[in-house]
Amino acid sequence: MSHHATRTLRELGYRLTPQRTLVWDVLRNHGSHMSAEEICERVNRQFPNVNMSTVYRTLDLLVSLSLVRETLLGPEHRTFEIEEEDAHHHLVCRECGAVEHIHDTDLRGLSAALDVGNSFLVQEVTVFGSCRTCRQADVPPDRP
Ligand SMILES: [Zn+2]
Ligand SMILES: [Zn+2]
């Protein structure tokens, strides 16, 4: 577990249980989005008795402390990743489910367009589309 995460938990009076540490480490080592099921499966390699409700409780805690970010990448598709300092958004391929990050600064034009009269602050954007790999796969092969 990183110093930042450890400090946040300790300062707020939460114990560093093995489950909490492990859920964090699994996410950090994976380095991108994971579902709670995937996290649970990894955690079970070391702690076979940890079940989904424990994993969800742990994730809810880490999300509430802004240590982990939860993003809905589709209907019923809750994913989790380590919360980064830099704001980012998601591009999701409808065909293969691939996820790419788009940096907040790349969305400035969109944020400005949506912020009509200072009424709406954009925090998170998820765009569904078709990734390069899937689009190339759709192209029919050249005929001789
Ligand atoms: Zn794709
Ligand atoms: Zn992400």
**DSSP category for residue 86:** S
Does residue 22 belong to any structural domain of this protein?
yes
Dist CA 54 CA 69 (whole Å)? 17
Same domain, 92 and 76: no
Question: What's the Cα-to-Cα distance from 120 to each of 71, 77, 110, 113, 114, rounded to whole Å?
Answer: 20, 26, 12, 10, 6
Per-residue pLDDT of the chain (144 residues; tens, 9 = 90+): 777 888 888 888 888 888 889 999 999 999 889 999 999 999 999 999 999 999 999 999 999 998 999 998 888 889 999 988 777 899 999 999 899 999 888 888 888 888 777 778 888 889 999 999 999 987 676 766
Distance CA 42, CA 14 (A): 23
Our measurement of the distance from residue 41's CA atom to the centroid of its chain's CA atoms, rounded to an integer in Å, reads 17
- Residues 100, 56 share a domain: no
Ligand minimally distant from the alpha carbon of residue 79: 2
Please count the structural domains in the chain.
Answer: 2
Q: For residue 119, what are the contacts with CB-CB under 8 A and spacing of at least 6? A: none
State whether 69 and 11 are in the same domain: yes
Which structural domain range is residue 133 located in? 88-138
Q: What is the CATH number of the domain that holds 95?
A: 3.30.1490.190
Distance, CA of 124 to CA of 68 (rounded, Å):
15
| CA 93 to ligand 1 center in whole angstroms | 5
Q: Residues 13, 61: one domain?
A: yes
| Bridge partner residues of 103 (DSSP) | 88
For residue 93, the ligand closest to its alpha carbon is 1
One domain for residues 131 and 113: yes
In a domain, 143, yes or no: no
Residues 44 and 112 in one domain: no
| Co-location of 8 and 76 in the same domain | yes
The answer as to whether 71 is a domain residue is yes
Residues 101 and 43 in one domain: no
Q: Is 47 helix (H, G, I), strand (E, B) or coil?
A: coil
The answer to pTM > 0.75 is yes
Ligand number with the minimum distance to the CA of 137 = 1
Q: Do 77 and 99 belong together in one domain? A: no
